[in-house]
Amino acid sequence: MNYFEEYCTKLVQSVGNKEGAISPNIVNSAAFAYGTPEIGEAIFNGSVKKPLYSRMGNPTSAHLESILAEMDDGIGAIATSSGMGATTLACMSLLSQGDEIISIGGLFGGTYSFFNETLSRFGITTHFFDVDSLDNIKKVINDNTKIIFLESVGNPNMRLPEIKKIATIANETGVILIVDNTITPLIIKPLELGADIVVYSTTKIISGNASALGGCAVFRAVNDGVDKLKSSRYSFLEKFIKKMGKMALIPNAKKRALRDFGMSPNANASYQTMLGLETLPLRLQRIVQSVEIVAKELDKNGFNLNHPSLTNHPHHGRYKNNFSQGCGPLLTIDMGTKEEAFKLLNKLKLATLSANIGDTRTLALHMASTIYSDFNDEEKIFLGISDGLIRISIGLESPQDIINDFLQAKGN
Ligand SMILES: *Cc1c(COP(=O)(O)O)cnc(C)c1O
């Protein structure tokens, strides 16, 4: 299914207003006035839907939330201050001491440290697996397993998970599946494939130009009849299901995470994120086409290149079948040593050196000396971080200009 065309229409239509100011309203207020004590009481008990306080929800961010919920066929969404905020919100709303997480795939550095260092300090254990270790995943699931966490594309190892198969395991064993879809909005629709919650760093390709830090979690509806969420594993959801029915995962996340951790977005960032959303399908479509062109050409010219569009990639078949609209803006090259990687990066004229991805500009970064500099050798091997690894995030420039920049830097 090609969503680019459909969402070129939908996103511009849902961001802009049809009357009055076309550009979304920015409601720059941290607090809101209730007028009367009766209305104040009603806002707090949820019977009147008006803003309570911006930590719990802001009208500008609510506009963004409704668009992202629609984009992923969710029942609702919660915008957050960053992508890590969205992952923290989704996870903390489900976890207690003694619980376990199953984390699948090559993981974004921040998510890896969140699971491995931070959550482990609070008695939560994470089991890490490669995308192809499905048999072992089934074996470690037990009554304490609350979350299976997955990235739609391994960043930066470029390995592709079989999301549908993993969702089947999650549904058969009654465990919630969270998919970090930061790299593949519109390309992958995790809820359609059987996931329960989607998280985004909107900082990346959704905003698209390094102007706003942000994140979002999108939640599926709770089924009226049988639903794995109505089990003793998630007994804390019962009261929310009773009161809010289909919507239960949203008040659960607000009351068990957002209210107390405060990873709330600000209206200006939500506004800028919506401006980015308007052009997301257009930018992403061009970027995934350019990624294939650049990958092929650099591979032909002697770069040790990792991208699933290349026929020698172990997940090339999966790329063709399950990622037919591409797998986002990333590819990596391995220069062998840190020295060679730095030499290349110092000669690049077009690429901007940054830890960001999904920007309008092409970005490059040496991984081992930056995002993964705190990681030990074992962790780096698991995450696919070699000494000479450079991650490239392809931008909107002419693909030939990008290719030429890397070729001149290598001295071809
Ligand atoms: C950047 C990123 C995050 C974290 O997002 P922030 O907005 O930087 O907090 C999470 N997951 C993935 C895949 C990312 O690329």
Q: Measure 264 CA to ligand 1 centroid, in angstroms.
A: 16
Does residue 341 contact residue 325 with C-beta atoms inside 8 Å? no
Q: Is any atom of ligand 1 closer than 6 Å to the C-beta of 84?
A: yes
Which of 103, 200, 203, 392 is the best mutation target for the ligand 1 pocket, counting ligand atoms within 8 Å of the beta carbon and taking the most? 203
Q: Is any atom of ligand 1 closer than 6 Å to the C-beta of 331?
A: no
Does residue 58 contact residue 265 with C-beta atoms inside 8 Å? yes
pLDDT at 412: 64
Cβ burial, residue 23 (10 Å; 0-12/13-18/19+): exposed
Q: Measure 239 CA to ligand 1 centroid, in angstroms.
A: 32
Q: Is any atom of ligand 1 closer than 6 Å to the C-beta of 110?
A: yes
Q: Is any atom of ligand 1 closer than 6 Å to the C-beta of 213?
A: yes
Is 82's pLDDT higher than 90?
yes
Q: What per-residue string of b and e applies to 329-353 under the rule 16 or more CB within 10 Å gives b?
A: bbbbbbbeeeeebeebbeebebbee
- Of 100-104, 116-120, 254-258, 376-380, which range is least confident? 376-380
Please tell me what DSSP assigns to residue 210: S
State the average pLDDT for the chain.
96
Average pLDDT value for residue range 275-282: 97
Q: Measure 91 CA to ligand 1 centroid, in angstroms.
A: 15
Average pLDDT value for residue range 300-304: 96
Ligand 1 atom at minimal distance to the Cα of residue 87: 10
Q: Is any atom of ligand 1 closer than 6 Å to the C-beta of 155?
A: yes
Report the alpha-carbon distance of residue 80 to residue 265 in Å, rounded.
5
- pLDDT above 70: percentage of residues in the chain: 100
| Residue located nearest, by CA, to atom 2 of ligand 1 | 201
Is 1's pLDDT higher than 90?
no
Q: Measure 38 CA to ligand 1 centroid, in angstroms.
A: 41
pLDDT at 379: 86
| Residue located nearest, by CA, to atom 5 of ligand 1 | 83
Q: Is any atom of ligand 1 closer than 6 Å to the C-beta of 354?
A: no
pLDDT at 375: 87
Q: Is any atom of ligand 1 closer than 6 Å to the C-beta of 272?
A: no
Q: Is any atom of ligand 1 closer than 6 Å to the C-beta of 154?
A: no
In this structure, CATH architecture of domain 5-268: 3-Layer(aba) Sandwich (3.40)
* CA angle in degrees (0–180, nearest 5) for 294-295-298: 80
Does residue 384 contact residue 154 with C-beta atoms inside 8 Å? yes
pLDDT category at 149 given cuts 50, 70, 90 is very high
Structure confidence by residue, pLDDT tens digits, 377-410: 988 888 889 999 999 999 999 999 999 999 999 9
User: What SS3 state is found at 177?
Assistant: strand
Q: Which residues pair with 366 in a beta bridge?
A: 390
Q: Measure 246 CA to ligand 1 centroid, in angstroms.
A: 28
The rounded radius of gyration (Å) of the Cα atoms in the chain is: 21
Average pLDDT value for residue range 34-59: 95
Domain positions in the chain are 5-268, 280-410
Structure confidence by residue, pLDDT tens digits, 223-252: 999 999 999 999 999 999 999 999 999 999
- pLDDT above 90: percentage of residues in the chain: 95
Q: Which residues pair with 198 in a beta bridge?
A: 179, 218
Does residue 135 contact residue 363 with C-beta atoms inside 8 Å? no
Domain 280-410 has CATH 1.10.10.60: no
Q: What per-residue string of b and e applies to 161-188 under the rule 16 or more CB within 10 Å gives b?
A: bbbeebbebbeebbbbbbbbbbbbbbbb
**Cis upstream peptide for 156 (omega within 30°):** yes
pLDDT at 2: 79
Q: Please report, for residues 90, 221, 244, 248, the alpha-carbon distance to residue 224 in angstroms, rounded to integers and kept in the order given.
A: 22, 9, 11, 11
Ligand 1 atom at minimal distance to the Cα of residue 84: 9
* Per-residue tokens: 45: 């008990």
* Per-residue tokens: 337: 């040593």
Cβ burial, residue 36 (10 Å; 0-12/13-18/19+): exposed
| Residue located nearest, by CA, to atom 8 of ligand 1 | 83
| Residue located nearest, by CA, to atom 1 of ligand 1 | 201
Residue showing tokens 């629709």: 189
pLDDT at 374: 87
**DSSP annotation string for 72-133:** TT-SEEEEESSHHHHHHHHHHTT--TT-EEEEESS--HHHHHIIIIIIHHTT-EEEEE-TT-
Please tell me what DSSP assigns to residue 54: T
Q: Is any atom of ligand 1 closer than 6 Å to the C-beta of 83?
A: yes
Q: Is any atom of ligand 1 closer than 6 Å to the C-beta of 201?
A: yes
Ligand 1 atom at minimal distance to the Cα of residue 151: 13
Structure confidence by residue, pLDDT tens digits, 361-380: 999 999 999 999 988 998 88
Report the alpha-carbon distance of residue 387 to residue 385 in Å, rounded.
7
Q: What per-residue string of b and e applies to 242-254 under the rule 16 or more CB within 10 Å gives b?
A: eebebbbbbbbbb
